[in-house]
Amino acid sequence: MSSSSVRAVAFVFVLLMASLSPLAAPAAAHSAILLDVNTHHVVLQPGDSANVSLSIENNGSAIESYNVTIDTGSLSSVWAINATEDVVENVFPTWRRNTTIVIQLSSIAVPSNSGSFNIHVTEPEQNITTIITVFVSVAPSYSPLLSFDTLGSSLGVMEAGASSTYTIDVTNAGSVSDTLLLDVEYETDLVAWWAQQNSGNNT
């Protein structure tokens, strides 16, 4: 598959996930616990991290404390997702409390590691729970690396008319298959040119 095709497929996948985000709603809801997040879809580059703000509203009639747990289910292990507070305490009726969910993505992640996780908020005395789903996607990254070594130096000296063979190591450090186009440029040896100019002017 060509580079443009791979990029198009990756872009369409991210757009598809984004289009599903507005449909994300509590996976299981109890009327006494209302949940919301500032974003239902998080897109990260490999190695990046982000915070999701979770809003918990006490829709009951008494002051409550809530347990917050994360269910990553079958989500790839390249994701590390943690709640900054295991317990959100003393939420008055009709009041909201915000807490933070930290999302970290490994530097070795690829777009196929995208998925979702669930946030469980439980009131332990009545044993009631509301669950909300957040989607996470790995953004495609493109990072070609070139390595050129001539006995410890990146400079190679050649006599006029001579030919040499050099080995260039090409590494795809991105997260998707890619096609790399190589182009060779050269710069005039300005030191030699200037020396010749000066020599000509002195004669």
* Domain shared by 181 and 94, yes or no: no
168-186 per-position pLDDT tens digit: 888 887 778 888 888 877 7
- By CB neighbour count within 10 A (0-12 exposed, 13-18 middle, 19+ buried), where does 21 fall? middle
pTM of the model: 0.68
| Last-in-domain residue among 91, 120, 138 | 138
DSSP character for 44?
Answer: E
* Domain shared by 152 and 134, yes or no: no
* Domain shared by 59 and 101, yes or no: yes
CATH classification of the domain holding 99 = 2.60.40.10
Most confident by average pLDDT, 93-102, 138-147, 150-159, 186-195: 93-102
* Domain shared by 8 and 67, yes or no: yes
* Domain shared by 13 and 98, yes or no: yes
* Domain shared by 193 and 134, yes or no: no
Q: pLDDT value at position 143?
A: 81
* Domain shared by 167 and 120, yes or no: no
Task: Give the residue numbers spanning the domain of 152.
Answer: 144-201
* Domain shared by 65 and 131, yes or no: yes
| Last-in-domain residue among 109, 138, 167 | 138
Q: pLDDT value at position 70?
A: 98
What is the DSSP pairing of strand 41-44 with strand 64-71? Answer: unpaired
30-58 per-position pLDDT tens digit: 999 999 999 999 999 999 999 999 999 99
In angstroms, how far apart are the furthest CA atoms of the chain? 102
Token pair recorded at residue 113 = 């590691």
80-96 per-position pLDDT tens digit: 999 999 999 999 999 99
Percent of the chain scored above 70 by pLDDT? 76
Average pLDDT rounded to a whole number, residues 155-167? 76
* Domain shared by 126 and 148, yes or no: no
Q: Considering its fold, how many domains does the chain have in total?
A: 2
Q: pLDDT value at position 100?
A: 99
Average pLDDT rounded to a whole number, residues 105-112? 94
* Domain shared by 149 and 51, yes or no: no
Q: pLDDT value at position 203?
A: 56
| Last-in-domain residue among 92, 123, 138 | 138
* Domain shared by 40 and 102, yes or no: yes
Token pair recorded at residue 71 = 């269910």
Q: pLDDT value at position 18?
A: 47
* Domain shared by 148 and 132, yes or no: no
